[in-house]
Structure 1
Amino acid sequence: MIRTAAILGLLLTAAACEREAGRELNRQGTFGEATLNNAAVMSGERSFAIQLAGRFAQEVPTTITFDFDSARLDQTALAVLDQQAHWIRQFPEVRFRVFGHTDAVGSNAYNRALGLRRARAAVNYLVSRGISRSRLEAVISHGETQPLIPTPERERRNRRTVTEVSGFLKNHQSVLDGKYAQIIYREYLESAVPATTLTQQKSLERTLQ
């Protein structure tokens, strides 16, 4: 009995030694989740662009809505687009798409054109906030074909544009070098610097330009 217990203890000790020091527990209590994730990204098993898309959707409102038969950006829409522009500026390596949608009132052809006008309005505003048009990879209209609320009536939630991550700029140095950690953690590094120091640094940069 004692011998069996000793053998079991040795096996448990050996299993524990196989775990890499410093690995964090995930919610299921297993080890190495961060390491596995990094390995999957670098091997292409897990799309880095998909992960950034998830972050964008979690951290920023991705959708704005419109009045009936209108592509005008109201104050609520402008506020959302300002948040999107701020997030997009932090990731100069990343491309985005803007999709336009309408409700079901009107012909399909008219609604496709209206959805396109809405998408272009959103893109034009993002450009006015300092986002390069080359990073807004495509402007696409789905018209009335993808409603959030299935109804033939007027429905504001269907009259919308949606901004999404679409991929990376192929000629960006960080992407070519595979410096993914530099991309994803850039804002964390900046957040470690006191706000007053950042303000002084940016002021000095403007003076030197």
Structure 2
Amino acid sequence: MRLLKCLMALAAVAVLAGCAHPLTIGPDLSKVERDATERPIPRNVGYYIPADVLERAVTTEGGGGDSVTYKPYKDMEIAFYKMLGNVFKNVTRLKSANDAEVLAKGDIAYVITPEISTNSSSPSPFTWPPTRFAVNLSCRITDASGKFVGRAGVTGNGQAEYDEFKADFSLSGRRAALDAVLKMQAELLKMSALRAE
């Protein structure tokens, strides 16, 4: 009987140790701002994220042998939209990357398709929230006809220790997402191809 209880306890620990805890990595929108000295690009843009990609969940490592799960595109979409609004004259969310009627009606000069990959980790054997997080954000840019214009890519990094994340388990992810969005904003603002007449 004692052996059976021990085996059941070990099985319970094994199940708990393999959990994928849900996070939300959307950054603080109040911090997605443009420096007043930066000159925005006087163009209308559209961005396109396929519906299945928007809902795609990913799982990466946490601490204590656990993992975390989240939807990077969905979590970051509003911040991405706001960032594009800081860079360009007007932003439209597109349902299709090549809807000629919508592109013409919105006088859209460029279509931006984001790609996001993530990584997280924690050396802690006792707590599951990740203390280190990375968000790789790249943007493929085409003109309204579909011709390739350019690509920009950045990596956002975020860290959070136990004292900080005990009130917000997503903190390192939120910080990494914010870092990625602000770095992408800087990259787009300095792309001379986007300012070409």
Establish whether TM, by shorter chain, passes 0.5.
no
Normalised by the length of structure 1, the TM-score is 0.29
* Greater fraction helix: 1
Bigger Rg over Cα: 1
* Greater fraction strand: 2
Normalised by the length of structure 2, the TM-score is 0.31
